[in-house]
Every structure is written in C-alpha cells, then in structure tokens.
Structure 1
Amino acid sequence: MASKQNKSPKAEGTPDEGADAAKKQTAKKESAPAAGSKEAVFLEKQRERLLALKDTLLDSMQGVARDSLRSRAEGSEASAFGMHQADAGSDAYDRDFALSLLSQEQDSLYEIDEALKRIEAGSYGVCEMSGKPIPHARLEALPFTRYTVECQAELEKRNRFQRVRQPVTSLFGLGEDDGGDGEDEDNSTDTKD
C-alpha cells in the first residue's frame, strides 16, 4: 500500500505518456556530458574561468567608472575656466576614453553571460553559424567565443565588405542621386527668359 501512495506523477498518466517522459529524460542525459567525463570536466573548468573573468571585468568596470566619473571639483568641466584650456580638453578626452572602455567591457560582459547560458543549455562549444564543434584550444583562448575560426573569419570578411560598399552621403544627408546635380541652376535660367 505504501508503494501506491509514493507513485510519481509521471507514472499516473497513460503508459505512452510515461514512456515519452522517460525518452525525453534519456535524451537530455545523452546530450549532456556524463559527470566525471572529460567533457564535463572541461565544461566545469570553462564555467569557472568565465565566472572568474566576469568578476575581474566587473571589478575593472567599477574602478574605471569610479575614477572617470568622480565629481571632484578639479576634474569637472565646471572648473575648466580656472585651468588651462589644453588641460580641460585632455580631461574630457580621458573621460570619453574611459567611457568607451566601459562600453567595450559591457559588451564583453554580455558575451560572458551568454556563454554561461550556453553551458547551462548544453550548446556551449558549438558554432552558432555552422553547427560544428569549436576546438577546445579556441575555447581555452577565448572562452566566450560563439564561432569557429573559419566562421569568425567569414563574418569579419562580410563586415569588412559591407563597410567598404556603403554609399557616400553628403553632410546634409543627400545621396549621390539626390540634389546637387544642377537642377537649381537650370530652373534659374528658365525664369530669366
């Protein structure tokens, strides 16, 4: 009698439902590396590296933010009138540079978080473009990479080509076909007649 009371909810449904649930669990276990396997050890090591990298990056970001955004009177632009113009420009450049570093570090932090999610989902180490496994050497060098070297090179090649082929526009937002082709001059000669 006690065994009937401890039935799992999966076993209460139809026999087919219980078999389907068992198949799903088996498929999940097969796709995830077995605990203690070489792959599981590698994934755990990568997860720890990513977490350490994330902590280091967060500490660095806090330091840069604290140093560049402090509200000391000698560092603010409000006191720029009391110092040399070149010093004020240099301080503004340093702040802008620090803020661009923060932006880049924020992008890296996002990639690290996404890599941690891929580890949890079981898709870490698989190229998002080709579906091929990413070599462990590449993952050790760049633990948050999404692509194999070949796919990364292809993406960079496409981006470089797109940057080169962008149409040129004027300062006023006019393209090569927009305005500036002498239409105004032709209209002005027509009105003189």
Structure 2
Amino acid sequence: MLSDKQLQQFKEKLVTMKKETEAELEDYHNDEAKETYQNDETGELSSVQDHPANSGTDQFERAKEQTFYEQARERMMDIEDALKKIEEGTYGKSEKSGKEIPLERLEAMPTARYTVEEQEEMEKE
C-alpha cells in the first residue's frame, strides 16, 4: 500500500504530466489553425501545387500530427483517471484484480491500470 507521501509524489508527477500534455494539445490546436491556408506552411504564393509529391508530404505530415494529437488525448484521459483514483483512494490497485501495482511499475508509468502480468495477459488475448 502506498504511503501518503508516495501518493502526494505521484499526484505531483501526474499534475506535471497533465500540464505538459495540455501544452502539447494547445500547440496542436494553434498549429491546426495555421493550416487553414495550406501554402502558409510551404511559403508558396500560389495555392497551385507544383509537384504531386508536395501534396503527399503535406498529407503525411497532417496524418502524423493527427496521430500525435490522438496519443496526447489518450494520455490526458489516463492522467485524469489516475488523478481521480488518487482522490478516491484506489490509485495503485489493478482495475482487473484489485491487486497492488508494484511501486516500480508506477514509478515507470504513473498511469498504469494493471500489473505487468495482467497487461501482458490482456495483450495476448
């Protein structure tokens, strides 16, 4: 069982992670607003594509940014869930079995929901 001091340390770490993730999401939204005009990023004066590869590169970059955004959103949900668990007194317990999640795992991944064994078992299914 985690001590009050350990819980406070994890809460502080999660709050820091939340602020960093919020900044990432805000950066994405600011960049998204700029992409309204496709040629702003390339510096081109005309909206006419001069090479088909440019279009492919732009699509790839947008897809990559969207992936990063989705990952940040998922990370934010995990962080908020972990903070809620701290408030409810269930932080550090597996959602599957109720067993204590080892301290080492929580230190490596403060948003962990399961023990390593349970996570591996679920990934095999």
Query: What TM-score bracket applies, with the shorter chain setting the length?
Result: 0.7 to 0.9
Q: Distance in 2 between matches of 1:131 and 1:73?
A: 50
Correspondence for 1:42 = 6
1:64 is aligned, of 8, 24, 28, to 28
Correspondence for 1:134 = 101
Sequence identity (%)? 34
Query: What is the Cα-based RMSD across aligned positions, in Å?
Result: 2.0
Residue 128 of structure 1 aligns to a residue in which SS?
coil
Within-5 A mapping of 1:91-110? 91-110=58-77
Q: Distance in 1 between matches of 2:86 and 2:14?
A: 10
Are residues 1:125 and 2:92 paired?
yes
- After superposition, give the CA deviation of every residue in 1:57-89 in whole Å (9 maximum; x if it has no partner): 11112223322441234158x92x243211121
The offset of 1:107, in angstroms, is 0.7
Q: Distance in 2 between matches of 1:148 and 1:69?
A: 40
Correspondence for 1:146 = 113
Structure possessing the higher radius of gyration over alpha carbons? 1
Q: Distance in 1 between matches of 2:40 and 2:123?
A: 39
Runs of 4+ deviating beyond 2 Å: 64-69
- After superposition, give the CA deviation of every residue in 1:117-168 in whole Å (9 maximum; x if it has no partner): 000000000011111100111101100110000100111111xxxxxxxxxx
Correspondence for 1:166 = none
2:79 is aligned, of 82, 87, 112, to 112
Cα contact 2:49–2:55 (8 A) shared by 1 = no
Are residues 1:55 and 2:19 paired?
yes
- What is the number of residues matched between the two proteins? 120
Q: Distance in 2 between matches of 1:84 and 1:61?
A: 31
Residue 95 of structure 2 aligns to a residue in which SS?
coil
Where do 5+ consecutive residues of structure 1 fail to align?
1-32, 159-193
Q: Distance in 1 between matches of 2:89 and 2:58?
A: 46
Higher relative contact order (CA 8 A, sep 6+): 2
Q: Distance in 1 between matches of 2:33 and 2:56?
A: 16
Q: Distance in 1 between matches of 2:116 and 2:38?
A: 49
Where do 5+ consecutive residues of structure 2 fail to align?
none
